[in-house]
Amino acid sequence: MISVGARAAAGRRRAARRPKPIDTGQFRTIISPLQLNSRWGRRVYWAVLVTVVVTFTLAFVFPLYWMITGAMKTGEEIAQMPPTLFPADPTLDAYAEAWNLFDLGTLLWNTAYYSLGGWVFCMLVDVSAAYALSRLRPMFGGVILGAMLATLMIPAMVVLIPLYVTVVDLGLLNNPWGLWFPAAANGFNIFLLKRFFDSIPRELIEAARIDGAGAFRVLWSVVLPVSRPILGVVSIFTIVTSFKDFVWPLLVMTDSDKMTLSVGLSQTAGMVTQNAVMGGLVVASIPTIIVFFVFQRHIMAGLTAGSIKG
């Protein structure tokens, strides 16, 4: 016990000499603040911190750097061995080339149209369904919700083939509704929305009822305004998921002028030079990275909220 006290005192003296002890904040984790601020604790801590930051940057940022600079190299430079760390003569030619070869303008427009259209339809369908199940409580509501949630248990790859057969039967190939209808049948969205609607205080809704508001009016003027956080999370996830989707659009949108960005890139990638491929990939990544920058907190909150209790 004496030695611990002595070490603590030594730590304190050293902390006084050094201007900045490691601020542990209000968290207490596996390693105690005392241990962390001991002489060895500090050394190990800084060593680990630097290693982790360097490793993460190399593992997750460097590949993207390689992609962006790869697209700025000439066709010869990108095939050169050993490769250059910086493009010798950075040009944007590969981006222009990628734009023309992949017809990126059309692909981007298609993808944006499918994602945003699908988002509007999905929100209309899922919000009204969740509202009905949560607030209007129809007969068999529980059974319906259960059947909707049960679809989450069925592996996506397994449903792919019968779903494709269904869409072919309905003649929805190369029709955006072939993407939008299946995307709207999303049990997880309905579950998240319903759970949020359930938590809205009764008094709020009763007050609107007494003022003579009908079911639609209550949804529009009371429920939706207070549900902005969950609507935001569900919207972001719906748009990002449909933007990233690959296998389903590959099957449904087969005409080259109706393809999505992901599918278009995959179909043409084998036929063009490596720097043009990288140019196409950079263009495809930019929208998702921007969305991530802007909505980072919503996305991370939604991720943990959805998966832990889902």
Partner 1 sequence: MAVLRRNLTAYGFLCAALFCFAVFAWYPMIREFILSFQETNLIDPPTWVGLDNFEYAVGYPGFTEAWIATLQFTFLALVCGFAVPFVVALVLNELRHARAYLRFVVYLPVMLPPIVAVLLFRWFFDPGPGLFNQLLGLVNLPGLAWLDSPATALISLVIVSTWMNMGSATLIYLAALQNIPPELYEAAELDGAGILKRIRHVTIPQTRLILLLMLMLQIVATMQVFIEPYMLTGGGPAGSTVTVAYMMFQFAFTNQNYGVAGALGMMLMIVLLVFAAFQLRLTREDKA
- The interface with partner 1 within residues 227-286 (CB under 8 A) comprises 240, 243-244, 246-247, 251, 261-263, 265-266, 269, 274, 277-278, 281, 284-285
**Which residue is associated with the tokens 């603590």?**
8
Among the residue ranges 10-18, 90-98, 149-157, 200-208, the one whose residues contact partner 1 (CB under 8 A): 149-157
Residue 1 in 3-state DSSP? Answer: coil
Q: 92 or 300, CB closer to partner 1?
A: 300
Residue 174 in 3-state DSSP? Answer: coil
| Contact call for residue 54 and partner 1 (CB under 8 A) | no
Residues 179-238 binding partner 1 (CB under 8 A) are 181-182, 184-185, 187, 190, 215, 219
Position among 1, 2, 16, 59 found at the interface with partner 1 (CB under 8 A): 59
Residues 284-303 binding partner 1 (CB under 8 A) are 284-285, 288-289, 291-292, 296, 299-300, 303
- In total, the chain counts a number of residues equal to 310
* Burial label, 239 (beta-carbon count in 10 A; 0-12, 13-18, 19+): buried
Q: What amino acid is encoded at 57 in this protein? A: T
Count of residues that interact with partner 1, criterion CB under 8 A: 105
Among the residue ranges 8-16, 24-32, 101-109, 198-206, the one whose residues contact partner 1 (CB under 8 A): 24-32
Q: How many other C-beta atoms are found inside a 10 Å radius of the C-beta of residue 235?
A: 18
The answer to whether the beta carbons of residues 289 and 266 sit under 8 Å apart is no
CB of 234 to partner 1, least distance (A): 14
| Contact call for residue 151 and partner 1 (CB under 8 A) | yes
CB of 67 to partner 1, least distance (A): 5
| Contact call for residue 57 and partner 1 (CB under 8 A) | yes
Position among 74, 166, 175, 273 found at the interface with partner 1 (CB under 8 A): 166
CB of 214 to partner 1, least distance (A): 8
CB of 82 to partner 1, least distance (A): 6
Closest by CA to 256, choosing from 134, 164, 174, 153, is 174
The answer to whether the beta carbons of residues 98 and 283 sit under 8 Å apart is yes
CA distances from 267 to 6, 105, 146, 255 (A): 68, 16, 39, 11
Position among 8, 9, 47, 53 found at the interface with partner 1 (CB under 8 A): 53
Residues 92-131 binding partner 1 (CB under 8 A) are 124-126, 128-129, 131
**Hey, what are 258's tokens?**
């109706």
CA distances from 12 to 2, 26, 47, 200, 278 (A): 15, 19, 21, 50, 53
